Chain A
Amino acid sequence: MTSITTQTRSVVVERDIAHPPEKLWRALTQPHLMEEWLMKNDFKPQVGHGFQLRGEWGGVLDCEVLAVEPNKTLSYTWNHEHPDPAYALRSVVTFTLTPTATGTHLRVEQAGFHPDQKQAYGGAHAGWKAFLGNLDQLLDRLD
């Protein structure tokens, strides 16, 4: 076993959306709409509100609202606790909305770390076993 790393990484996905920021904001913050594109949830647009996102695969994400600036910025924690570190993740998700001539530029940044990152890279035994388990699950979900 190698030591646990706390190295932070981030992923950014951006998209131009042909709808105004106000409408996009509703989809990002109203629970029944969030459920349609993201996951089941008990979200409220209040800083400090703790909520859960429940995936169709049975996974639960523990979240807390960090920032709410209507029609501009939304940020919450996105943590997945799991006894198997290969499945665990601690991160912060931030949505940024910028009005454009044709609608809204939507950017999501997810920054955080996977407690098992280094171990998985090092090819440690437990890491690989867990990885191959993940892969099986992923393959089941394709098609």
Chain B
Amino acid sequence: MTDAHDLLFRTLADPTRRGIFERLCRDGEQTVGALTALAGVSQPAVSKHLGVLKQAGLVSDRHEGRQTHYSAQVNALAPLVDWTSRMAGFWETRFDNLEDLLNRMDQ
């Protein structure tokens, strides 16, 4: 698994954070206030989750007056959506198993 995958998995492993990201994917751009109303956690917690999502490239922010608007950056998921990346990881793991097997086999 590459570092990029690792970061995406870690970022989306948290259910609250994943919920925020899903909501942005589904409903488009939102303010922190609007996200907090439905997230079931405090506004500082939502802001913290948004910061982590931003760090992973999964959301971007836009300032307008005193409000910050967040939107999902779906392209950041491309490394996971692309089946070739997933299969490369699959074959690397299987080749590890294969080498183990060969070491155990008779000539």
A26 and B105 contacting across the interface, CB-CB below 8 Å? yes
Total A residues in contact with B, Cβ cutoff 8 Å: 33
Name the residue on A nearest B5 (C-beta).
A138
B84 interface neighbour in A10, A106, A108, A123, Cβ under 8 Å: A10
A17 and B99 contacting across the interface, CB-CB below 8 Å? yes
How far apart are B102's CB and chain A's nearest CB, in angstroms?
5
A131 interface neighbour in B9, B26, B77, Cβ under 8 Å: B77
B83 and A9 contacting across the interface, CB-CB below 8 Å? yes
Residues of A within 8 A of B74 (CB): 123, 128
Interface string of A11-35 (1 = CB under 8 A from B): 1010101110001101100000100
Answer whether residue B48 sits at the interface, using C-beta atoms and an 8 A cutoff: no
Residues of A within 8 A of B94 (CB): 37-38
Residues of B within 8 A of A132 (CB): 18, 22
A27 and B105 contacting across the interface, CB-CB below 8 Å? yes
B81 and A121 contacting across the interface, CB-CB below 8 Å? yes
Residues of A within 8 A of B83 (CB): 9, 89, 114, 117
Name the residue on A nearest B25 (C-beta).
A128
B84 and A37 contacting across the interface, CB-CB below 8 Å? no
Answer whether residue A139 sits at the interface, using C-beta atoms and an 8 A cutoff: yes
Answer whether residue B34 sits at the interface, using C-beta atoms and an 8 A cutoff: no
A15 and B95 contacting across the interface, CB-CB below 8 Å? yes
| Complex-state Cα separation, A9 to B82, whole angstroms | 9
B101 interface neighbour in A33, A89, A114, A128, Cβ under 8 Å: A33
- Give the A-binding residues of B (Cβ under 8 A): 9, 12-13, 18, 22, 25-26, 72, 74-75, 77-78, 80-85, 87-88, 91-92, 94-95, 97-102, 105, 107
6 A-B pairs besides A27-B98, A139-B9 with CB distance below 8 A are A17-B99, A36-B97, A36-B101, A89-B83, A121-B75, A132-B18
- Give the B-binding residues of A (Cβ under 8 A): 9-11, 13, 15, 17-19, 23-24, 26-27, 33, 36-38, 89, 106, 108, 110, 114, 117, 120-121, 123, 125, 128, 131-132, 135, 138-139, 142
